[in-house]
Structure 1
Amino acid sequence: MAQQTWFITGISSGFGRNLSELLLERGDRVAGTVRTHDAVTDLQERYPELLWLGVLDVTDIGAVHEVVDRAFAQWGRIDVVVNNAGYGLFGAVEEMTDAQIAAQINTNLLGSIHVVKAALPHLRAQGGGRILQLSSYGGQSTNPGASLYHASKWGVEGFMESTAKDVAPLGISVTIVEPGGARTEFRTGSAQLAENKLAAYDDSPAAMTRMINDPALPPSPGDPVKIARAIIDSVGVDPAPLRLVLGSDAYSAMHQGLTERLKALEAQRDQAGRTDA
């Protein structure tokens, strides 16, 4: 396979790290973003000619455009842009601070939007490319205690699905990646809990998420390396799949959620038509 060049946000851990390791190992070039340079010192030392790093907080809009521009200038062409940076915020919404709510949306949703906005002029100029958006089965189904996380993922899925239609005539394709639970640092490392726990929610379903950081919980079913390989392999599929479901738990949760929504919709067919002129 010919060498490809990838831009990936958040490569210090999780799927970003797994993707980068696999790609560099096979000889692809990676422009990766990190919060601090020393987060991936080992990769820098092993692949000095293949790995370019940009320090980036995706909530800094100006920095997003600057880093994306520098990455394209560094490599000349980038074949695949991967929106990976993100995290989960858990708890009932009134238990969250305003700052926590803003940070979740600014990172997972607005950060992804601005990376795409910054990359599109370059992808258009080079005549095409592919965008991979890391979402979750939580972008199509919901669990209690994850309202803001779901808001960010449902939002980014709507954005990417619509954008895919906008850019298809330009030779740019989009895939929304929807993994299930995986054995990354998502749950025990990056996940944040609502700061203001309220007794009113102690016996509610939302309270279950208060244990999400507990290392004693059973591990998630997904193998992060297998998931990363499947994401990489999807780039070779033409036409690009709009959605890539990874994990039996993701399939089950999404199937149940979509089935329930379709059933509820079909029950309103006659009622919906009564408001036509």
Structure 2
Amino acid sequence: MSNPKTWFITGVSRGIGLEITKAALAAGDKVVGTVRSNPERLAAQLNHPHASIVVLDVTDERQAQEAARQAIERFGSIDVLVNNAGYGLLGAVEEATNEEVKRNFDANVFGLLNVTRAVLPYMRERRSGRVINLSSVGGLSGLAGWGVYGATKFAVEGLTEAMATELAPLGVFATAVEPGFFRTEFLDTSSLVRTGNVIADYAETVGEMRGYATLVNKKQPGDPAKLAQAVIRLAHAEKPPVHLPLGNDTLAMYGDKTTKFQQEIAQWHDVITGTDHDDVKH
């Protein structure tokens, strides 16, 4: 592709982050990828002169700032930020402990904010850049068993929509990418935490989802290599969208949600529209 870019991608040790890293390098771009440990192992695996692997725990704001500084020092700019690092939490909302919830938000939301704040000053200075936040189908539609994880991704959606408006006049574009079920390690214990607490009353809903997650692991419909190519195209687009849902499953679930939402609005229209003061003219 023309106009090679420098990428800053979090969570590249495996899965979607690694696929995007490989695709960006194959496209002729440069990549600073972050891992929580053993950067030498991945650097040796990639064995690419335009790949720089650095240690970063996204929950550590100072580490995020230092990693961004190193990226600028190495390549001179950060053109594309991909906030990919994070993990899933499977369990009913009631089952999740306060500590489990906090850890999930620390990684998926506050970690994303740490990295974004570290990178945006460089993009603003150049009046150019792309911020790509990995959300989820769970950030578009609430699913049984994924309430807390989905809440982190709903937060990512709201942050991305606001940033898209705030950054556009500065030449920086923000997009939320919403993958459905892709065939990665997401459902493995390396990327998915299940709540320690299990309540029998949720067997028909969350229990079914737990079983499904085990059954579908490594059989998900989405191809992560194709997802990576979609992100490459997104990063090079002149006018990228604010939302990019990926996968037929994501599209179907979101379509079902919006249909039901419109039906509820129609059923409750008189209540919805009847809450203004009487002196308000429409």
**What range describes the TM-score normalised by the shorter chain of this pair?**
over 0.9
The aligned counterpart of 1:163 is 163
The aligned counterpart of 1:86 is 86
The alpha-carbon distance between structure 1 residues 13 and 165, as it changes in their structure 2 partners (threshold 3 A), is: same
Q: Is the 8 A contact 1:136 1:177 kept in 2?
A: yes
**How far does residue 186 in structure 1 lie from its aligned partner after superposition?**
0.5
Render the CA deviation track for 1:113-151: whole Å, top value 9, x for unaligned. Answer: 222122111101112111111111111112101111110
Q: 2:196 is matched by which residue type in structure 1?
A: E
**Which runs of structure 2 are paired with 1:175-254 in the superposition (5 Å)?**
175-188=175-188, 189-201=190-202, 203-211=203-211, 214=214, 219-254=219-254
Partners of 1:96 and 1:273 in 2: how far apart?
A: 36
Render the CA deviation track for 1:170-211: whole Å, top value 9, x for unaligned. Answer: 00001111111000000124111001222333x230112333
Render the CA deviation track for 1:16-50: whole Å, top value 9, x for unaligned. Answer: 10011111123211011001114514345x11x21
Percentage of identical aligned residues: 37
TM-score (normalised: structure 2): 0.91
**How far does residue 238 in structure 1 lie from its aligned partner after superposition?**
2.3
Instruction: Name structure 2 gaps, 5 residues minimum.
Output: 278-282
Partners of 1:41 and 1:211 in 2: how far apart?
A: 36
Partners of 2:231 and 2:162 in 1: how far apart?
A: 21
1:58 aligns with 2:65: no
Partners of 2:208 and 2:64 in 1: how far apart?
A: 35
Partners of 2:213 and 2:248 in 1: how far apart?
A: 22
Partners of 1:40 and 1:218 in 2: how far apart?
A: 22
The aligned counterpart of 2:124 is 124
Q: 2:21 is matched by which residue type in structure 1?
A: S
Render the CA deviation track for 1:229-269: whole Å, top value 9, x for unaligned. Answer: 01111122221111112111110011111221232234333
Q: 2:85 is matched by which residue type in structure 1?
A: A
**How far does residue 9 in structure 1 lie from its aligned partner after superposition?**
0.3
Instruction: Name structure 1 gaps, 5 residues minimum.
Output: none
**How far does residue 213 in structure 1 lie from its aligned partner after superposition?**
5.7
Aligned length: 274
Q: Which moved more, 1:34-43 or 1:12-21?
A: 34-43
Q: Is the 8 A contact 1:183 1:224 kept in 2?
A: yes
The aligned counterpart of 1:133 is 133
Q: Is the 8 A contact 1:140 1:258 kept in 2?
A: no
Q: 1:55 is matched by which residue type in structure 2?
A: V
The aligned counterpart of 1:14 is 15
Q: Is the 8 A contact 1:141 1:258 kept in 2?
A: no
**How far does residue 70 in structure 1 lie from its aligned partner after superposition?**
2.1
The aligned counterpart of 1:40 is 42
Partners of 2:36 and 2:212 in 1: how far apart?
A: 24
**How far does residue 95 in structure 1 lie from its aligned partner after superposition?**
2.2
The aligned counterpart of 1:265 is 265
Q: Which moved more, 1:235-244 or 1:204-213?
A: 204-213
Q: Is the 8 A contact 1:113 1:156 kept in 2?
A: no
Partners of 1:185 and 1:35 in 2: how far apart?
A: 16
